Structure formats: structure tokens, C-alpha cells
């Protein structure tokens, strides 16, 4: 039951993009760690994400 709720919560977070930063950090660790650079911090990442997200057609009629 608890497990089901946890999974529901995780799905909701992924659907809404609430966990975007966590996913970014995970991606960064597995792909870019050890190249001598640091990941973006949360605020900078969110700014960058939003800028990128709104280039192009995002919403329809």
C-alpha cells in the first residue's frame, strides 16, 4: 500500500516535471562526472530548463 502510494507520487512528480532536477543530477553523474566540471545548481538548472522548454510549439488549440 505504502509502496503503491510512493510509486504514484513518483509518477506524479515525473509527469509534472517536479523531479526534473533530480533526474538531471542522475544523468550528469552517469554521463558527465569525472570530466572536471560541476553540475548546475538547482536554480540555474531550472532557469535553463524553462528557457529551453519554451522555444518552439508547446501548446496546441
Partner 1 sequence: MATTLAKPLPKPMSVGIWTVVIGLGTFALWAIAMNRGESINAMWFIVAAVCVYALGYRFYSAFLAAKVFALDATRATPAERFSDGRDFVPTNRWIVFGHHFAAIAGPGPLIGPTLAAQFGYLPGTLWILIGAVLGGCVQDFVALFCSIRRDGRSLGQMARDELGALGGAVALIGVMAIMIILIAVLGLVVVNAMRHSPWATSTVAATIPIAVLIGLFMRHLRPGRVLEGTAIGVVLLLLAVFAGGWVDKHETLRAWFDYDAPALALMVILYGFAAAVLPVWLLLAPRDYLSTFMKIGTIIALAIAIIILNPAVKMPAITQFVDGTGPIFGGNVFPFVFITIACGAISGFHSLIASGTTPKLLANERDARFIGYGAMAMESFVAIMAMVAACVLDPGVYFAINSPAGVVGAQAADAVATISSWGYPVTVEQMEGLAREMGEGSLFARTGGAPSLAVGMASIFSSAFGDTLLAVWYHFAIMFEALFILTTVDAGTRVARFMLQDLIGNVAPSMGRTSWYPSVLVCSGLVVAGWGYFLYMGTIDPLGGINSLWPLFGIANQMLAAIALCVATTVLVKSGKTRFAWVTALPLVWLVAVTSTAAWEKLFSPDLRIGFLSHANDLAAQLAAGSLTGVAAQQAPRLIFNDRLDAALTMFFLITVWVLVVETARICYAALTGRRVPPSAETPHVPSRLVEGWVRD
Residues in touch with partner 1 (CB under 8 A) = 11-18, 20-21, 23-24, 27-28, 31, 42-43, 45-47, 49-61
Residue 50 Cβ vs partner 1, minimum distance, rounded to whole Å:
5
- The CB-of-36 to partner 1 minimum distance in angstroms stands at 18
Which is nearer to partner 1, 6 or 11 (by Cβ)?
11
How many CA within 13 A on the CB side of residue 16? Answer: 7
| Residue 17 grid cell | 516535471
Q: First-to-last CA distance in the chain?
A: 39
- Tell me the closest approach of the beta carbon of residue 54 to partner 1, in angstroms: 5
Mapping DSSP to helix (H, G, I), strand (E, B) and coil, where does residue 57 land?
coil
Amino acid at each position: 500500500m505504502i509502496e503503491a502510494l510512493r510509486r504514484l507520487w513518483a509518477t506524479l512528480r515525473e509527469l509534472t516535471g517536479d523531479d526534473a532536477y533530480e533526474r538531471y543530477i542522475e544523468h550528469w553523474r552517469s554521463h558527465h562526472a569525472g570530466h572536471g566540471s560541476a553540475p548546475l545548481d538547482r536554480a540555474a538548472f531550472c532557469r535553463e530548463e524553462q528557457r529551453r522548454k519554451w522555444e518552439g510549439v508547446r501548446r496546441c488549440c
